[in-house]
Amino acid sequence: MASGFLTLISFFTRIPVGRKITYDENNFKRALSLYSLMGAVIGILLVAVYFLFGRTYIAFLRGLVLTIGYVAITGGIHLDGAADTSDGLFSGRTGERVFEIMSDSHIGAFGVICLIVILLSQFVLFSFADMFTCFLMPVVGRACLAVSCLGKKYAKKTKGMGTTFIESMDMKTVAVNLIFLAIFVVITPYRMIFAVSCFATIAATLFTAGWIEDKIGGMTGDTCGFIIETSQIIFMILVLFLKG
């Protein structure tokens, strides 16, 4: 389990783990129950950034540094997936042509728009978010992805790590990820606001995942990135709205 958790951190972030990690499918599958916990590791680093700039009177400076920090921590891996997903799903094409567009190394107009919207949203939302929201944001994003993959199949014909991730999300794995999320919500001072925001975000994520499944017949690694980035933005918007 520990080796699998380090694999998650190694493959889905740029956090140095101190040793060379080799991919083992069985360890990777077992560690998927800790996917939300990996989000907490990212959240702790974001809180550290928040404390460094939390006393500044220039809110947008804090928002900019947190946005850059998040991209640096994750390596932009989910941003890339979100852009590719937008290019494919909003292209108006169907069938295998959608996957060809998503696999193209060149970014299209919809991908550019998607990146602008995501980064601008993060910049603004981080500028007004408290440290608890910064901590929970990546946890919520990864819990939402776990839920969205439940019962889904890998949409592409070619198999890879995305196949293992998506098709290994069973009820037990999802439940453990949601338990981690619930624990982190309960220990915050705004537990009711966070609980409502999490519930609404998960509902929105299920709707999005269903729409993606209707379009391409399942999920892919790229759509996973799209789910994470959009769910995190939805969560932060809801928190700020409920806090008034």
Burial class (CB in 10 A: 0-12, 13-18, 19+), 15: middle
- Lowest-pLDDT range, 8-17, 110-119, 142-151, 220-229? 8-17
pLDDT (tens digit per residue) in 145-189? 999 999 999 998 877 768 899 999 999 999 999 999 999 999 999
Closest listed residue to residue 201, CA positions, set 121, 141, 123, 113: 141
Instruction: Using a cut of 0.75, tell me whether the model's pTM lies above it.
Output: yes
Q: pLDDT band for position 136 (50/70/90)?
A: very high
- What residue numbers bound the domain in which 61 lies? 2-243
- Cα 112 from chain centre: 19
- Lowest-pLDDT range, 103-107, 147-151, 217-221, 233-237? 103-107
pLDDT (tens digit per residue) in 58-84? 788 899 999 999 999 999 999 999 999
Q: What is the DSSP letter of 218?
A: S
CA distances from 92 to 89, 97, 102, 162, 199 (A): 7, 10, 13, 24, 31
**How many domains does the chain contain in total?**
1
Amino acid at 179: I
- Spatial separation of the C-alpha atoms in residues 61 and 158, rounded to whole Å: 43
* Exposure letters 145-183 (e unless 16+ CB within 10 A, then b): bbbbbeebebbbeeeeebbbbbbebeeebbebbbebbbe
